[in-house]
Amino acid sequence: MTTSAKAKQIIPALGLLIFLAGVGLFVYLGLYNRYWADDWCYNADFRNQGFLETVAGYSNDVTYTPSRYSVTIFAGLIDVFKVLGVQLMTPLTILFWVAGLIYLLYNISIIAGYKLSNLALVLFSSLVVYFSIYLTDHIYQSLYWRTGMLTYTSPMVFLTWIFALITAQSLREKPSAWWIVLIGLLAFLGGGFSEAGTTVMVSSLGIYVAFAGFMAWRYKSLWAVRSLVAAAVALVFALVAMAMLIFAPTTQIRKGRYGEPASLPQLVRLVFNYTYAFFVAAVKNYRYLVLFGISTLLAILWHVAGGRSAKPLNAFLLSILVFVLAAIFVAASLTPSAYIEKGIPAPRTMIIPRFVAVFAFVAAGWFFGMMLRELFNTKWLEPAALVLLLVAYSFPVYSLTVTSQKIAIYRDRTVLWDIRNAVILDAIEKGEDRVDVLAIDGLPVDGIRDFDPPGKKGFWISQCAMDFYGIRFRVQLP
């Protein structure tokens, strides 16, 4: 094996180790998870009312967000394992996210006629998941707070698996009825986490059904014929989920808090402006460009190994199409907040468009690399790509140092939480009516509501926690 051939194996493998280390860091941070904010209200209801009655809050409870029925269902399942449940939820979510992307990319590569190696599949999947998390606006609330993670990150994991199973149907000679049932169930549950996640799910499934339907009708494409029913079922159940969120009795009650929603012309203008601003900021952000560059360089190295050539113009048009689709899905994720609040979503929501954008930059980079490989098939192209790839790795390595700094922050908050929990349980064991509790500062994690005394904005959280523990608090502010 020549030095160049060895380098083509070693340097991409080095990238895989870097991205897996990043994913591993985010998995590890999940072990510091504890209950925060709305978690206490769910916990109190599960303990005092039971699981079924809490789920029934979809129609009668307006104190937090029971209209998002999937959040309630999965919060209840996690609650069975108490603190261990919230410790495991983030690691399992991340691992399922990576596994779902591996499965999806494998299916797409087979359908498209490429043979991506296991190294390539794991590398791209870990790359997308790691930077979807790293670049999100509020990592803590999006991933390490149970209610926030279920509401905004879980829909993307479900969507990944829905498309993985749909594309898997394309590879089966006879589509599985049981798999179609499973896909419908995943769409119904995945659509019940949040409005922002559901709009992305409906829009992506709608486009897939339209395109597959056209390909099945016009060209009799086997992949389209085999997957069309599964995709249509998923779309129907996603629409049902959307309707359940929109027309939930508690949603109708809450509508008065926000005033009149945006008119159609105003909504179109707001969504366009927000989406445009989002992508302008992304293009100006060197981190997205680095992702695009890494993917481009990997495509230059691996394109020929895929076993299929591509016309440069087609590859370029595919990269443009990726961004057009990404703009549609980002716009879909921003639409609920633009319609209801006439503003952009809360930072924790932005993990949804971040995932869309990261996936788009990585996919478009691959097609761009294919184009370059076809246009400049010279001896110096691969060595140059290998050198540039090593240089590009400096950013993800730097990002690991930034991520690792969160360990001390999360650990210190967890220590304070555990001490406070022990104090509360000790007071309960002694039969006391009240206990002094320390509110934990949310500033180190960009603000997450904790206990507050009467008269403060977060006192409702204190009330939920008191209902859960069965003892009254005297809250001491830090």
- pLDDT given at position 256: 67
Q: Report the alpha-carbon angle 412-352-150, nearest 5.
A: 55
Is residue 239 over pLDDT 90?
Answer: yes
Is residue 3 over pLDDT 60?
Answer: no
Amino acid occupying residue 9: Q
Is residue 258 over pLDDT 80?
Answer: no
Is residue 232 over pLDDT 60?
Answer: yes
Average pLDDT of the chain, as a whole number: 92
Amino acid occupying residue 190: G
Is residue 173 over pLDDT 90?
Answer: no
- Give the closest residue to 164 by CA, choosing from 108, 109, 210, 114: 108
The alpha carbons of the chain give a radius of gyration, in whole angstroms, of 24
- pLDDT given at position 323: 96
Could you report the per-residue pLDDT of 8-18, keeping only the tens digit for each?
A: 788 889 999 99
Rounded Cα distance between 190 and 223, Å, is 24
What DSSP string runs through 151-213? IIIHHHHHHHHHHHHHHHHHT-SS--HHHHHHHHHHHHHHTTS-HHHHHHHHHHHHHHHHHHH
Is residue 206 over pLDDT 70?
Answer: yes
Residue/partner pairs of 469-473 with CB below 8 Å, 24 or more apart:
469/424, 469/428, 470/428, 471/424, 471/427, 471/428, 471/432, 471/433, 471/434, 471/435, 472/433, 472/434, 472/435, 473/434, 473/435, 473/436, 473/437
- Give the closest residue to 230 by CA, choosing from 302, 176, 155, 171: 176
Rounded Cα distance between 326 and 329, Å, is 5
Mean of pLDDT values over 347-360: 96
- Band of pLDDT at residue 455, cut at 50, 70 and 90: confident
- For 73, the 3-state DSSP assignment is helix
- pLDDT given at position 2: 57
What percent of the chain has a predicted confidence (pLDDT) above 70?
95
Mean of pLDDT values over 87-116: 94
Within its chain, how far is the Cα of 106 from the centroid?
Answer: 20
Which of 86-95, 260-269, 304-313 is predicted least confidently? Answer: 304-313
- pLDDT given at position 390: 93
Is residue 380 over pLDDT 90?
Answer: no
- Band of pLDDT at residue 305, cut at 50, 70 and 90: low
Which of 59-73, 141-155, 193-207 is predicted least confidently? Answer: 59-73
- pLDDT given at position 248: 82
Mean of pLDDT values over 384-388: 92
Distances (CA, A) of 116 to 119, 127, 301, 339: 8, 15, 12, 42
Could you report the per-residue pLDDT of 12-58, keeping only the tens digit for each?
A: 899 999 999 999 999 999 999 999 999 999 999 999 999 999 888 88
Ranked by mean pLDDT, which of 46-60, 346-360, 366-380 comes out on top?
Answer: 346-360
Could you report the per-residue pLDDT of 404-417, keeping only the tens digit for each?
A: 999 999 999 999 99
Which of 65-79, 307-321, 356-370 is predicted least confidently? Answer: 307-321
Is residue 66 over pLDDT 90?
Answer: no
Is residue 462 over pLDDT 60?
Answer: yes
Which of 85-89, 164-168, 457-461, 466-470 is predicted least confidently? Answer: 457-461
In 10 A of CB 59, how many CB atoms? 12
